[in-house]
Structure 1
Amino acid sequence: MKNKEQLQETLVATIENIKVDKKRVARIKSGLRKYKILPGTVQLILNEPEEQLKQIDDKFLCLLTEQVYIASGNLELNPENYFSSREIKEVKSTFEGEVPEKVDFPYTFKPAIQIAPDMFITKIKASEIKLFMDNKLLQYNFETQREARIKVDKNDPTNIIQEVKINKKHIKHIKESIVKGEALPSTLTFNARLGTGDEGFELVYDEDTMELTIQKGTLLDCLDGFHRVTAIVKALEENPNVDMTFMLTVVNFDIPKAREYFAQMNTIEPIGKGHLENIKKERQADFIVDQLKYNSELKGRISPSENIPYTSSLLVSLKILSDAIDEVYGIEDRVEAIKTVNYLKEFFNRLFYAFPDEFLGDVAAIREKSLINANVMFYGYVLLSKRMKDENISLDKLPEIIKKIDFSRDNEQWQEYKVLDKNKNVATRAKQGVYKFFKELNLL
């Protein structure tokens, strides 16, 4: 082949541009599957193209170039620019892809000790963990674990993509320690999610033989240790002969109990405060937000992450909405919480219907010049809803009240209230300024 560095640079740039396009990614994976290249291997390259392209051989590079060329239409990636016809023919006829070992549930661990009716302790090898990952038996559950990293599909701004929020440096450090044989055994926690087994149960324990068997159909979530699991996979891909044993806790929890367990044991890798509070589900405000997420026009517009991408159609972070409701309403019992859900549902629905372009249309375009749909402004909307309720002001008046407010970023009032900084960006402590503005707002 020729011009390998140029090819790698072009591939990296092209992959970065198309990797959020699900159809193109599926096309690449499908094209490489006939050469027995696993989708997981392809995804790893798409996630970290610059690093991974340095590690694959020329034959693999040739096949990958062809499929990215087909999927992207980038003429610079025509394989014939870098490989001769003979080389291409040779690669296609002789390439030997991955043939992963197959494994499925039921799967038995031995020895295992029962700690509680729904909790067991056993051990697992790194090679077994990779087998589970290769065969898609072990997964990440956003409902019980770390907050997601939110990304916007470049080709479809309304499509919000959730990705696992990971610390790459942490993973690299763990991977290197495993490869060098320096890693110390630690405890992982897998949850055989309650209610998912084909036979109506997920785990079978034989006390006499000390065998714990995960049953067919069970959804197995990595409840704690996903960074280590990711590092293990990377380490074994780099050196398949590396292996070590980990302690493993296997639990059989439903989602609420898994959330509680995860919140209690979160002491190593910091979790976003807002996401952790949501997992704990200790406040009535969190219950209210959960209801609004599914039963109002806020559905699909609440971000689990504290930071909202500037170009996304998401409107408010879970933390800001929950904190605002907790601070403004201060609800402590479920009956009052249910009443508040109904009121806020009506409030936000009316707000959005009265200003559809601002809240339901091209949100990102409006956001460039106006604060009306800014994340921080929802502190104010929650306070406004409480004032209208306490002052017996009909929600019919809501559009009229909102129309009085100049939400333009050019409005100097926002800097006076310290909502915006001198560069017209939302200030770090804008919350108090928003509260102050809506407290002083004349509703008559």
Structure 2
Amino acid sequence: MVNEDLTPQRLAEVLQDFLYENRYDHDLFNDLQKNLKKHEIFSKDITDIMNKRTDFKDIPATELVLFARIVYGRFPDFEIINPQRYFKPGEIKAAQYYTRNNRPEYIKLPLTVNNALSVQYDEYIAIMSAKQLVKMLDSSIVTYNFDSQRDAKSMVDTNGRIVRAINVNQKSVIEIAQLMLNGEYLPDMLTFNMLLGSNDEREEFSSKGNSIVVNEGTQLDILDGFHRLSAMQQAVEANPEFDLNFPVAFKNFDIQKAKRYVGQTNTFNVMPKAYVEQLRAKDHYAYIVNELINNSDLKGRVGYQRRPIFDNGEITTFDRLKNAIQKQYNVKMKREAMGVVETLVPLFDELIFLYLSEKPDPHETLFATVDGIDRLLNKYKKIDKDIKRVDLDFLLATTEKGQLL
């Protein structure tokens, strides 16, 4: 079992709690005061940190390195606060020369992204410079979320605990950085996720004209492009004048949809046609399926390839749902499409409830084929739209398994 995540955010949480628990340790305070003075971090700053009046997430990551080095030096058995587990050697070395007077310009949320094109409600595309992106990374407002990434690596630390660490191929990062510095790199899309449900006080983002604002309190995850972002950071360190514009996508997915997106990105080179159709919702039936996915328990269970990927929790596909609905409903206006959505949401909630309760083989349910979904919809219409439990025998009333796929 994985017990801990090796990210700067994790270090900030653990170190903040440790300092708070030891806020009356005068020797520790004096040690911090003595060693941080040359970095222009003074007694009041240290007191505010130790008493949680200032949060580590609100100060530069370089200062987190400095605090961690000093505290770990006094408590070497407390391995979880060893900064070498969270930061690259170059970042730790650079911290030695840091002062608040000459510190780089850091940014905090809210973050305004200008000239953002809306793809649909929860997806935007913008153009951002490498310097802007590196500043976001340096300011620790970008999170590597292990729960949505497939390529995190597990390792055993010195205390025998299993931890998750960011799986970075440094050779690839160096090669990409060199291409960037040589002017040979062709910019491609990076993807961030304004994690749905991560903001306790407000919506994760707001839109203003042609801009979006990533609100304070939102967790901004990198879904695709961490190696390229690390390469940009190296390129800017090597040549402060380096800059390059990149297309950047901003999503507002929950963790389940983010995981599916990452898996899809890592598996397929071309975005599936059905997924593009879902994003654009360019006809009434695509709109209906899109709304069902977003507003019923179908969310996270609909795939965008020719066949559902059952191992990812998918039970059917976008195209199969769309084609079955099109066979049952003659929709010519958006108002009619909205009515179909209102009708079908409770049905699919009931069907998913049954599905999760009984845990049938996904190959053997009516969800698996267009004809099967058509039969479900047809039966539902025949009982005058009363919500009734669809019995398991009917849900499993399919043709031979080999004919389903």
**Which TM-score tier does this pair reach, normalised by the shorter chain?**
0.3 to 0.5
